[in-house]
Amino acid sequence: MNKSSCPRVSFDFTGRFLPPVYIIVFIVGLVANGWGLKSLLHNWKKLKIINVFVFNLGLADILYLLTVPFLAVYYFMKSKWIFGDAFCKITRFCFNLNLYGSIGFLTCISVYRYLAVVHPARVMGRITVTHSVIISVMVWLLVSVQSLPDMFYIKRYSKPYGNNTEKCFDTTDNIYVESYLKYSLGWTLTGFCIPFLITLGCYGHVIVVLCRTNTTHKVLKQRSLKLLCILILLFSVCYIPYQVFKNLNLWSRVLSNQKICAEWSNGVYIARQISRGLVCLNSALNPLVYLHGNEDIPAQIRQLLQQAHQMFSRSPPTNSGGVSMAQIADGD
């Protein structure tokens, strides 16, 4: 660190990187989550306990995906927000509900799988759909309470540079960044670290039990291992980089306010933007949980693949006139 003039941060990277990512996530996520939710609603009468958490996971994704086009426009216009202060806060609030709600519901799924594998005699028949609905409501309330203080920080900033440059911060303005860093660290602890440790503990114990027990049903083993792989993918790609670089970037801004320049600040800023693109991928990757939790969806996918294979494998109709393909290509 040094107290000389700070190097210029490359803000242009955000405008080039995030809009394409948002567009892809919006299309893939909306289709995948819409399909998954439709399948769950279609089989509502035979709803299982774990599907309640999966359903709420899908709702959290849809809620965020509906705001993604506005964010794509914002970053495409080089961080110029044109949709007003209230909608700026709503957009950021929806992102936080999705992020920490997804982590919460994935944790609930992990705990339920742990109880079903490790303590099946104590759990089966005692935990009902009503219990899972109540737990889901509690997750929504807890995530909302955690995210609410974020709404009271300044999210919008205007300063004339020939044209008005209007920001819509996902954190806050530099004036309040030190306070926001403290809030963010507490939020990371309660909203990410604790659920992550619970998930690791549950699946660590599950793997030990499955490896030691030869009588465990083969399908149950496969499902547990698949879900473990999905969760490792989500946490490693989407959640961990975002939490780390979000707080590092806030720290570099605090140091900058104190006229202390960190040589790593520009690299952290770019890594932070990449992690923002990765964290929004959770809305497109969460439907993998649908594939794991719902038996009907893999069958539907296999049916679609078979239909596509039959369509493309059909032999072309014979040409009774004896005209060759070369002649058709030449326009004869």
pLDDT in tens, the chain (332 residues): 544 556 666 667 788 889 999 999 999 999 888 887 887 777 666 667 778 888 899 899 998 999 999 999 999 888 889 998 899 999 999 999 999 999 999 999 888 888 887 887 777 677 888 889 999 999 999 999 999 999 999 887 655 644 456 889 999 988 999 999 999 999 999 999 999 999 989 888 887 887 777 665 666 667 777 777 788 888 888 999 999 999 999 999 999 888 887 788 888 988 999 999 999 988 888 887 766 655 555 565 566 556 666 666 664 554 444 433 333 233 33
91-94 CB contacts, 8 Å cutoff, 24+ apart: 91/67, 91/168, 92/150, 92/151, 92/155, 92/168, 92/169, 92/170, 93/147, 93/150, 93/151, 94/63, 94/64, 94/66, 94/67
Residue 1 lies in a domain: no
Is 310 a member of any domain?
Answer: no
Q: Two tokens at 287? A: 């439907």
CA separation for the pair 47, 112 (Å, rounded): 15
Does residue 304 fall inside a structural domain?
no
Q: What is the CATH number of the domain that holds 70?
A: 1.20.1070.10
Q: Does a structural domain hold residue 163?
A: yes
- Predicted pLDDT of residue 177: 94
Q: Does residue 326 lie within any of the structural domains? A: no
- In a domain? residue 216: yes
In a domain? residue 16: yes
Whether 4 is covered by a domain: the verdict is: no
Using a 10 angstrom Cβ sphere, with 0-12 exposed, 13-18 middle and 19 or more buried, the burial of residue 101 is buried
Domain span at 70: 12-292
- The Cβ of residue 85 has, within 10 Å, a number of other Cβ atoms equal to 14
Structure tokens at 171: 């954190």
Q: How many domains does the chain have?
A: 1
The pLDDT assigned to 113 comes to 82
pLDDT at 309: 63
Q: What secondary structure, in 3-state letters, does the chain show?
A: CECCCCCCCCCHHHHHHHHHHHHHHHHHHHHHHHHHHHHHHHCHHHCCHHHHHHHHHHHHHHHHHCCHHHHHHHHHCCCCCCCCHHHHHHHHHHHHHHHHHHHHHHHHHHHHHHHHHHCHHHHCCCCCHHHHHHHHHHHHHHHHHHHHHHHHCCCEEEEEECEEEEEECCCCCHHHHHHHHHHHHHHHHHHHHHHHHHHHHHHHHHHHHHHHCCCCCHHHHHHHHHHHHHHHHHHHHHHHHHHHHHHHHHHHHHHHHCCCECCCHHHHHHHHHHHHHHHHCHHHHCHHHHHHHCCHHHHHHHHHHHHHHHHHHCCCCCCCCCCCHHHHHCCC
- Residue entry with tokens 């899972």: 132
Q: Is the dihedral of CA 252, 16, 59, 290 positive or negative?
A: negative
Q: In the beta sheet, which residues pair with residue 163? A: 161
Per-residue confidence (pLDDT) for residue 299, from 0 to 100: 60
Instruction: Give the predicted TM-score (pTM) of the model.
Output: 0.82
